[in-house]
Structures are given as structure tokens and as C-alpha cells.
Amino acid sequence: MKAKLLIGKAGLDGHDRGVKAVAKALKEAGFDVVYSGLYQSPEDFVNKAIEEKVDAIGVSCLTGAHNVIFRKVIDLLNEKGTGNIPVFGGGTIPEDDVEGLKKIGVREVFLPGATLEEIIDFVKGLVRRKGDI
């Protein structure tokens, strides 16, 4: 059974070229990818993740609201009893914020310059631990 991923854009940013490239690369690597689209709220991500029964959530954030958005996604997952769904992400996130995001439960943060291969390899390892792909 293919691992199922939810990938999308958080916040009010309308730039989706990067996240679409990541979603396409993950799909080509063998994952079942649900692309949620633009302008997703943390509630949108969590509700869709539960509805689709995903194995992981990938959030792209370019708005500067990454600390708030990732924390809210993690908190909502925990509140709904689905805190076992791992969250990873990327975007224009300052390197100084990466450690704080990991401390709240974000599994990995991909900064500008990360390669598609790095992201694919990470996600394969992430879901392999869950027994998928």
C-alpha cells in the first residue's frame, strides 16, 4: 500500500510553484499525494489529513507566519487525537527558527536550496518507520 501524503500551502501566500514541484516529485517517487492547494488554514490541513487518512503532512509556508501555522497544525492534530501524523515542511523560513519548529514536533524543515531528492529521501524514511512504502 502506498503511503499517503497531504501537501499544501499555508496562509495567504499565493506562490505555489515550489510546493507543486514537491508534490509532483513525491508522486513520481511512488507516494499517493493529495494536494490541498493554496490558502489553507491549520484547521484545513488537519481536517483534510483526518478525512484522507494520510500518513504525513507537508506544509509550505512563505508568509513569515510559519511559527504560528506549524504550532497550530501540531496542536490541532494532538487535540483531535491524531498527533501521530508526522508533519514536515518548508519555505522561506529563517534558519534560526528551524530548531524551535522541531522542538514543537515538526519532523523536518526544508529551506530554500533543498533538493527534491533530499525531500523524497526524508519522506521515504519518515513513512518507512510507519511501515509504508
pLDDT in tens, 94-126: 999 999 999 999 999 999 999 999 999 999 999
Residue 45 has pLDDT above 80, yes or no: yes
Residue 12 has pLDDT above 80, yes or no: no
Q: 15 with 62: CB under 8 angstroms?
A: yes
Residue 13 has pLDDT above 90, yes or no: no
Residue 6 has which C-alpha cell? Answer: 497531504
In this structure, is residue 65 part of a structural domain? yes
Categorise residue 110: left if φ over 0, alpha if ψ from -120 to 50, beta otherwise: beta
In this structure, is residue 101 part of a structural domain? yes
Q: What is the pLDDT of residue 109?
A: 98
Residue 16 has pLDDT above 80, yes or no: yes
Rounded to an integer, the average pLDDT of 9-28 is: 88
State the total domains in the chain.
1
The CATH number for 41's domain is 3.40.50.280
- Residue 59 domain boundaries: 4-128
In this structure, is residue 133 part of a structural domain? no
Please tell me the pTM assigned to this model.
Answer: 0.92
